[in-house]
Each structure stands twice: as structure tokens, then as C-alpha cells.
Chains A and B, each alone.
Chain A
Amino acid sequence: MTTSPADRLTADHIYATGLRNQWHPVVPSRFVAPGAMRKVTVLGEQWLLFRRSDSTLSMLADRCPHRGAPLSLGKHLGDRVACWYHGLEIETDGTVSSVPGLPGCNLEGKKLVRSLPVREVGGAVLAYFGDDEHPEPAPLTLPEPLTDPDTDSFLCYAEWNGPWRYAVENLLDPMHGAFLHHESHTMFDGDTTAKFRIRETDRGYFFEKTDQRGVNFDWVELCRTGVDWVDLSIPYPPSAGPGGPFGIVGMVCPVDENRTGVFFWRYRKVEGWQRDSWRFLYRTLIEKRHWAVLEQDRVMLEAMPADADQRENLYQHDLGVVRLRRMYRAEAEAQAAAPAH
């Protein structure tokens, strides 16, 4: 598949639908059972997740190479999918294995459907979205809280109606915790005035309060390690038992210009009976309280006007957001301008 220069994505489109040449979360793994398939929209494009009964997962463009019918309307044949329209059979790597109406047809054996590299991490599907110049998956370093054996986590996934950037910007805006979440079980405490600073790291940057830590949502780290994610920590009240604060690893799936999938892993460094206690309380009582906090974010972000980021008066607390936007905007421009070979 080659793209002529005229087909190149514009910077505006990339900015609106998500950066290319990196990994993004797609949906929770449990959304595609063994032997099942699921249609998903990501970066404004239609895809098919296809899982064999041995649990191997693949991700194919949801478009039959014959006349373009959605493969997601087709039939799961165990190790391939058959298009409903004229029966073309597609293997999990995108190769046409059979054209039943015209055996021996020269489409057979050709890899005509785009397939994306996928990985499953902490209960979520991640996929690599390269453009024509960057088909090989970027190196992926996973968030340590999801790989450390002494850290335990639960994934919470939700779908919001709003641009993906607003969901990331919200995470780079710690100060909203002291206001929007003031009535919550975890963020009732801490100063409502603060000074922030940006601290660069080799994988992104911290945006943090200069004078308060461990009280509210006081810092956040943006990490770009092949996939974009944030790390932050929020104190629990004593009722949550031993183990200290809980952390959040957050990722965002750009679904299309106005829809976003959010992935929040709530994690805690706990072992043995302390781990068991947290997990029991989480399922029984705490998960619902975390959900109420997340709903406050959703209500606010979904109510933001479409031109919100064009008519602002920013102040010192918004430096983390400004830095983020500049970075994403510059990268969208660069991806749109890259020369076709």
C-alpha cells in the first residue's frame, strides 16, 4: 500500500485524531473473547480485532480488499475471517487465503489487508499505528507499575465524548483535583493555591507543585515510552488500609475527532494480606467511589465548548497543558510534513 503525497494526512487531522508512529491503547482485552471478533474505531479509522480460540489476537483494517465491505460483518472461521459480501477469506496477517467465487484468482496469497502489531498489557490491547514511512513498531517500554510484581492494579476503562487531547490535558492539570474533586474520598485535602514547575526527564516531564507533596493530586509525570502515559499518585484515607497512596497509570485512546477511550490503572504497592485487603475493599466499596470521581471529569470535559482551547486566558497552573499542546502540535506538523519517498 503506497500513499501518494496528495493522500497525506494534514497536521490538523493528525492533531484531531491522534499521533501516528506510536502505540495507543485500543480496548480492554476482555472485550474480545477467544474465538470472537470486535469492530473498533481508533485514530478515526475502522479496525477489526480478531482473536483465535488459542487467544492469539490480531488487528486488521475493517475493509475487505475486494470491494470494501466491512470485515466485521463477516464470519469468524477460527484462524481467518470470511467477508459476508462475496466470501473472500482473510488470514490474521491480512493475506487473502481464498476467493471462493473464483478459485485461483490472483488475489489469493496476496497480503492486501493492513494489519497492526498488537500487544496486551495489564488487561488492555495496545496497537502500533505507523504511517507508510514507519511500518515497523516503535520500541515500547511499559509503565513500571504495570510490570512490577509487587505492585497490584485494577484497570478502569471508560468512553467519553470529547477530543482525546482534553482527556490528556486534564491529567496534566493537577490543580483541578482540589476543586472539581473537592468532595471526593481522596482529594478533600490540600491547599487550593499552589505554585507549579515543570521538570524535564529523559522520557517526558513532571508537572508538580513546588511546595506540597503527598496531600492531594500534587504532581503528574508525562511519559513517552513508545506509548504515551501519565503517572500520578493520590493519598488514600486510613479506611483504605495499609499500603500508602494509590497511583494511576493513565492512557488515552483517540477514537475519532470527538470520542475518547480512557484507561486508568489504579495501582498500589502492596503484598500478602495487605494486597488481599485492598483488592477486597476495592471490589466491594472503593471502585464505586473512584468511579464517582472519574464521572466528575467526564461531566466537565464533555461539557467543554468545541472552541474551548481557542479562547482561553491561561495562567501559571496551565504550564503543563501548554507544554503538552506545543509538543503534540509540533509532532503533528512534523508527521504531516515528512517527505514521501
Chain B
Amino acid sequence: MDTSNRKDRGSTGPWHGTDTTPIALLETIRRRGRVWEELAAQYGVRNPDPPWKITLDATCDMLAAESCVVPYDQVEPGSCALPSLERRAEEDDLSETIYADVPFPERQLLALAHSMIKRGLFKEEELAQRMKQVHERLTSA
């Protein structure tokens, strides 16, 4: 395969492929989290997507910046936090391995968090702490 126009030149440095080693926090969510198709069925909601899907997509777009619309080999180094093509390739790999049993879009979300932790954009512990805070806030009313 000709890889000259693909993932050998990432805007955040060379891309070394997907690290599919599980992350404990995300494994817990994978096992314990209730997915939208279950919740929607239980509560009689017909919307096919969870309400957070659109903000998730926006987060992916924001992280990708111009790499959404510029060929991979023309993405300026450092111009985005997570190039679109790398994120999607990692989502593919993770969706067919450690998150294979998770439906969409929950696996898109797990894959994004996975990619961000593996790239050091934030730490697993930071995410766990923030999730605790968010949960307390959302359930405090």
C-alpha cells in the first residue's frame, strides 16, 4: 500500500499506530455504562442518538481543526491536537478490538477518550477526577 499520503506524517509528530492496551477507567465505563439504546428503550425515547452525540462530534471537530478539510500530508505540524484521520483510524482499530462489544456512538466516545489519554492530552487520573466532579454536578439538583 502506498502510504506516502497517509499517516506517516502527523501534525503532532509521527503517528505510530494505535495503542490498543486497555485503560482501566475506560474499561470500567465499558463494562458498567448504560448505553443509549438501553436507556432510550427503557424511557420510551425515540431519538436514535443520545443528546451528547452532537457535542461529541463537535469536540472531535474542534480537536481536528483544519485536518478535517485538508489532505493529511498538508496538515501543518502543531495545527491541531488530534488529526482527523488518525483519530478515525484509531477509532476503527479500537472498535474492532477492545471496544468491539460497545455500540455506536458510545464506542466513538470511548475511542476518543482512549486516543487522548494515550497521546498525553490528559491523564487517566485527571479524567477520573473530572468525571467524579461532573457526576456530582449533574446529579446534585
Q: Do A and B bind each other?
A: no
